[in-house]
Amino acid sequence: MTDGPWLGDACSLVDALRAGALHPTEALETALAAIEGSSLNAFCHLDADAARAAAAAADVTLPFGGLPVGIKELEPVAGWPFTEGSLVFADRVAGRDSTQVTRLRAAGAVPVGQTTASEFGGINFTATKLHGVTRNPWDPGRTPGGSSGGSAAAVAGGLVPLASGGDGGGSIRIPAGFTGLVGLKATYGRIPRGPETLQPPLTVTLGCLARSVRDVARWFDVCNGFDPRDTLSLPRIGGWEAGLGSVDLAGRTAVVAVDLGTAVVEPRVATVVTEAAEQLVAAAGLKRVDPSVALPQGGFEWALSNLVGLVAELGDRYPDCADDLTPEIQIGMNLATRHFDVHTAGRADQFRIALNERVADLFDQVDLVFCATNPDVAFAAEGPMATVVGDVDLVATYGFDRAIGNHGALTIPANLTGLPAVSIPAGTVDGRPVGLQVIARHHEERLLLDLARLAERERPWPLVAPGAPT
């Protein structure tokens, strides 16, 4: 029996289980004890009995054999609550597993419980009326981000080695950046979202929050591949983990554009990101170029497009359920129900076309784009989203819409265009993690993973937050 939960990466725990140094039931019990004793509020539901049965029967020869994992609460697991972080659906229970969970189980993973998320995945901090405030293990007064905040807190906080996430506007990368983890948003469709897949607005991808690059690669080995319940999912590709290190990076072109030409980035964060990017460019033998990177802003269009699905889901419960929603979702629903019409929909489509064209032009000139993951370090755990970055008051300078949109200005473009992007730990500011984001062309996740693997070697990062588990 170990003295505490596993603080290495997930692959090393599987190795220990295979070697007989630890039994899956021991790994599970230490994880359960850590979760029960934690003040992070990273989990909102535990299924200890089912997890114990799965651990006892685990086949450790499988890719994740006996590994305790967390599942983001926006993802259905049969028999578990399916609240989407909302009081409105507090009594709803999932009738079936998601495709991703089905594949994780088949690979031997042991789902421990449900990690907290922002309500309906709508904002980039994790605090809901249903579950309360989730905290960052690096600084409990700060948010781990959202919407996959509970997964990030659980993995960085030493509670479980690996947890699922979803990214519709940065919801894997933002928490990864805030908590010092690796977070890959894959090409749209890489991991299927079924069953009962909501297709529009074609921005959400599934993945994980991980301590190491090889953990991410193994996750994609297990979970990627076409499923008929997600008709836009991509064909299966194997060899993600086995192929690590096989991409020839030398001579590829890269631009370092910390703010993507559109965001306001805190100066010290910009310095950390720039130094990390320059070191990685040099270590990889990349050729640095300097094309114009000035992406059009579209946070408003992105938000309204995503809210259409929520309007349909709430249906005739709204507006009677308005008081049960968090303030940010209330504002969004008000915008969607009052201002979304055929003209707004057309405007959103035109923006997306313009962004696609601009990004395509950019990737005609470069192979990789380096930028910050977040404009600043993590803000207050309870929210609201910060509207001051460095010495810039965004509301006074640019207005409310720009101030709020700044939080996703660095991550949303990859969602709207379907591009793959990874957040890699770059360093800290005032003891709080800073993420370096790298964006590549469609279907070039292997390139991103090899860059992240190189960064892992050149600039090693702590696998868990100092002092974890809390």
What positions carry a catalytic annotation? 72, 147, 171
Joined tokens for residue 323: 């008081």
Q: Which one, of 188, 114, 182, lies nearest residue 151 by Cα?
A: 114
Q: Is 155 left (phi over 0), alpha (psi -120 to 50) or beta?
A: alpha
Find out whether the peptide bond into 327 is cis, omega within 30 degrees of 0. no
The rounded distance, in Å, linking the Cα atoms of 351 and 313 is 25
The residues, ordered by sequence, that sit 6+ positions from 360 with a Cβ below 8 Å of its Cβ are none
The rounded distance, in Å, linking the Cα atoms of 15 and 223 is 20
Q: How many CB atoms lie within 10 A of CB 21?
A: 11
The rounded distance, in Å, linking the Cα atoms of 466 and 470 is 9
The rounded distance, in Å, linking the Cα atoms of 99 and 84 is 17
Q: Which one, of 178, 157, 177, 142, lies nearest residue 381 by Cα?
A: 142
Q: Is 160 left (phi over 0), alpha (psi -120 to 50) or beta?
A: beta
